[in-house]
Chain A
């Protein structure tokens, strides 16, 4: 197998999109007795192992066409060094 590089795709809800899960998590954090948490937004981290032939453009297309739903979500792609 060719050498693999790790890629992380962070998917997060757009600003202005209500996040019922984040709100429930926030509520649970407060229920544990922690204070000072002002807001919680829940997102998703998707890790890919890709070989060197996979271009940034291809990664962007994967994220845009499948990994994120751009009606409600933004994404950010990060190639992990080493």
Chain B
């Protein structure tokens, strides 16, 4: 779809914004807008908004806490409420939880250490607009690189997430102590996904694998067929 229009938000301290923009441009095509955190408005007609990884505002206060209150996030929250597809990866996931767009919180890894390696995931929900080109239960390999990826929510919230199929990805190995091995969660409407692993770092064979590619293709296909 040549008219596919996306935006990658850059916060001070984002460091995966260019990788994200390149991945979206390569896989989805169309126009990838680069948007600064201080912008109060987003380009018109966006199909897809991505919040990249990094260490926005130096992780001051809590990871993602400052970025979640930046001017552009008011526009992202408004776009999400209209049903625009929003992906947050790593720090982007932390920003989405801090902004209240996704339930739960991301705490310091249970093992204290920063974890930076390829990890095995299973696709827990293959019906979402982010995962429709994966198979349910499919095992994929995607890298993680984070210090605060330990997903926490209270038991009632976790039960609801599981009951409503809002867990998108689970770790297939011990990574960071996340509740119920949750690596990625959807909002109730299904248009917002947050995940700690970096699909944008696995979109072509030169990356060492391309298991992340289907996520972007799923987003694109969902918009074409919508």
By a beta-carbon cutoff of 8 Å, the part of chain A in contact with chain B is 17-18, 20-21, 24, 66-67, 69, 71-72
Contact = CB atoms under 8 A, between A and B. Distances in A.
Interface size class of B (residues with CB under 8 A): 20 to 34
B172 to A, nearest CB: 21
Give the one of B97, B105, B177 with max A CB within 10 A: B105
Interface string B142-157: 0000000010111000
Nearest to A65: B69
Nearest 3 pairs of A and B residues by beta carbon: A71-B105, A72-B105, A20-B108
Contacts of B110: 18, 20
A17 B69 contact: no
Interface in B104-139: 104-105, 107-112
A80 B104 CA distance: 33
Contact of A20 (B69, B150, B154): B150
Contact of A17 (B61, B65, B97, B107): B107
A72 B107 contact: yes
Given A18-B177, A20-B150, A69 B111 contact: no
Nearest to B100: A71
Contacts of A20: 107-112, 150, 177
Contact of B108 (A21, A66, A67): A21
B61 A66 contact: yes
Contacts of B177: 18, 20
A71 B107 CA distance: 11
A55 to B, nearest CB: 21
Contacts of B150: 18, 20
A71 B156 CA distance: 12
Contacts of B109: 20
Given A66-B61, A69-B105, A71-B103, 10 more contacts: A17-B152, A18-B177, A20-B110, A20-B112, A20-B150, A20-B177, A21-B108, A21-B112, A71-B104, A72-B152
A72 B177 CA distance: 15
A66 B69 contact: yes
Contact of A71 (B69, B112, B152): B152
B165 to A, nearest CB: 21
Contacts of A17: 107, 152
Contacts of A21: 108, 112
Contacts of A66: 61, 65, 69
